[in-house]
Amino acid sequence: QSVLTQPPSVSGAPGQRVTISCTGSSSNIGAGYDVHWYQQLPGTAPKLLIYGNSNRPSGVPDRFSGSKSGTSASLAITGLQAEDEADYYCQSYDSSLRGVFGGGTKLTVL
């Protein structure tokens, strides 16, 4: 059971908007630690998508955005494309500075 809770799956049609939630607690996200998001395409290593709650590394399309509020965070993907089909993970840290991940969310593009 993961420390951060994500929905196991979400889906959307091309062009639509989807959101993926990440719920933590007062020991991690709620304690003020940043949330990061990763995209993992099948058979590949994870790729950093969002860092520091809402910042995009260079090269990541602005269709991807992140937000954080209280003990939760969200990843939004607009203008859904077939190549967005992947697993998405949120990550934060706990008060002992140990990393914590969400269980992952499989995005299906219909």
Partner 1 sequence: EVQLVESGGGLVKPGGSLRLSCAASGFTFSSYSMNWVRQAPGKGLEWVSSISSSSSYIYYADSVKGRFTISRDNAKNSLYLQMNSLRAEDTAVYYCARERMATMANDYWGQGTLVTVSS
Question: Closer CB to partner 1, residue 85 or residue 87?
Answer: 87
How do strand 9-12 and strand 64-69 relate by DSSP bridges? unpaired
Q: Is 89 in the site for partner 1 (CB under 8 A)?
A: yes
Q: Is 91 in the site for partner 1 (CB under 8 A)?
A: yes
Residues 6 or more apart whose CB falls under 8 angstroms from that of 28 comprise: 3, 4, 71, 92, 93, 94, 95, 100
Question: Closer CB to partner 1, residue 16 or residue 108?
Answer: 108
Q: Mapping DSSP to helix (H, G, I), strand (E, B) and coil, where does residue 33 land?
A: coil
Q: Which of 77, 84, 102, 109 binds partner 1 (CB under 8 A)?
A: 102
Q: Is 64 in the site for partner 1 (CB under 8 A)?
A: no
For residue 20, which of 59, 95, 72 has the smallest C-alpha distance?
72
Q: In the complex, which residues of this chain contact partner 1 (CB under 8 A)?
A: 2, 33-34, 36, 38, 40, 45-48, 51-52, 57, 87, 89, 91, 93, 96-104
